[in-house]
């Protein structure tokens, strides 16, 4: 999984992720894109990554976990049910901790 995460991290800033990579990110953070998982709607998958991409980019570009936790103030954080424990799991994966 580390190689897959490394590939995702290298593409995050440009936002050129494949659907499989988006699903991997969502699984990492514990987010379920219901429109995609239950109905196979790629529109829903790409709509949600469009909304969550700034969150993942912030976590990736944070040099400390404390800085990454500032993501809780982003408007997309609460509606998607993402917790600080999820942020820590993503930060650790992105920074090979």
Per-10-residue mean pLDDT for the chain, 97 residues long? 85 89 88 77 85 90 93 66 82 89
Buried/exposed code over 64-81 (b: 16+ C-beta within 10 A; e: otherwise): eeeebeebeeeeebeebe
Q: Note the pLDDT of residue 57.
A: 94
Q: The whole model's pTM is what?
A: 0.82
Write down the pLDDT at residue 78: 59
Write down the domain spans for the chain. 2-94
In angstroms, the CA 13 to CA 36 distance is 23
Q: Quote the pLDDT of residue 87.
A: 87
Radius of gyration of the chain (CA): 13
pLDDT at position 59: 93
**What pLDDT is attached to residue 75?**
56
Q: What is the pLDDT of residue 76?
A: 60
Q: What is the dihedral of CA 74, 76, 80, 86, to 10 degrees?
A: -40
Residue 72: per-residue pLDDT: 76
Yes or no: say if 45 and 22 are a contact pair by the CB < 8 Å rule. yes
For the packed helices 19-29 and 42-61, what is the interaxial angle rounded to 10 degrees? 60
pLDDT of residue 11: 93
């Amino acid at each position: 999984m580390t190689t897959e995460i490394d590939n995702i991290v290298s593409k995050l800033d440009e936002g050129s992720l494949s659907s499989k990579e988006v699903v991997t990110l969502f699984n990492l953070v514990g987010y379920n894109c219901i429109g995609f998982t239950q109905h196979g709607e790629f529109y829903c998958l790409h709509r949600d990554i469009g909304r969550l991409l700034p969150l993942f980019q912030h976590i990736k570009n944070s040099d400390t976990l404390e800085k990454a936790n500032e993501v809780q103030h982003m408007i997309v954080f609460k509606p998607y049910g993402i917790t600080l424990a999820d942020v820590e799991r993503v930060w650790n994966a992105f920074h090979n901790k």
